Amino acid sequence: MQGKSADSKEYRARVAALPDDLRQHGGDPFAVEVKPILKRLRSDFGNLDAGEMVADAQAVNAVSKIVSLQDQWLSFQLTSFQVDPDLLVSKVRATSLLRLAESISDAHHPISSIRQMPTARLLEAADYWVQLYGWGRAAEMGPLGAAVVDESAFESIRMEPHELERRLEEMLAAVTRRLATGPLPYRAFLAEYDGATRLEKAYLLAHLCMRGAFTMRYDPSISDYVMQESEGSVEKSVAVSLG
């Protein structure tokens, strides 16, 4: 029994020395498995005498220091993910204007924003996604009632910055002429085109609407969205079907 007590006290002394060993040798604090140590300390805690209780308290305190060292280690590692502002500025200055423009263009996506999201709008958005399907194809309904989307039916659009601006100017001129006679039904306008061309027109319209060139509103008399002359800043975005 006395030998077992000595082993218990020796083990606690080794645990108490761990934090100093880690600091001196710069070891990885996560190499110390805290849970097994606590489990062993807890296993014979009820049989400790007064002297062993002191050693146990020192061991538990050492475990808390190890956890603190692990936290410091994580914080230090995370600093490597931060970007030095001066380094970033120097890299930007060393990059050509063409490369900067390409980077900004590649990273740009049309923005959308909302001021509030009531339940009715969430339900409308859910219904919109259910109705999506491939270009010019009837919707194939899945087992849960949702439309089965054939991804191969969709086409992607990629334009160089100068080409995008040229097409935006052409689209703006065309839409402006059409709006001179009144609001223009969105779905009817897109119905004049097919496939990839329709996707391109919708993409350009999204850019122009985002820039405030014109706005869109829902017209209950025709159960569709219409494009009209801009009436100030856009307060919310809406999801509309291209089919």
Give residue 135's pLDDT band: very low, low, confident or very high (50, 70, 90).
very low
The 10 Å CB-count burial string (b at 16+, else e) for 27-63 is: eebeebeeeebeeebeebeeebeeebeebbeebbebb
Contact call for residues 165 and 105 (beta carbons, < 8 A): no
Between 86-90, 166-170, 210-214, the lowest mean confidence (pLDDT) is in 86-90
The pLDDT tens digits of the residues spanning 143-156 come to: 444 444 444 444 45
| Structure confidence by residue, pLDDT tens digits, 73-117 | 877 776 666 666 777 778 888 888 888 888 877 776 655 555 556
- Would the pLDDT of 235 be above 70? no
pLDDT digits (tens, 9 = 90+) for 213-222: 888 888 888 7
Q: 32-66, pLDDT tens digit by residue?
A: 888 888 888 888 888 888 888 888 889 889 999 88
Q: Where are the chain's structural domains?
A: 2-80, 119-229
Most confident of 1-5, 171-175, 233-237: 171-175
Q: Is the pTM of this model over 0.75?
A: no
Q: What is the mean pLDDT of residues 119-140?
A: 59
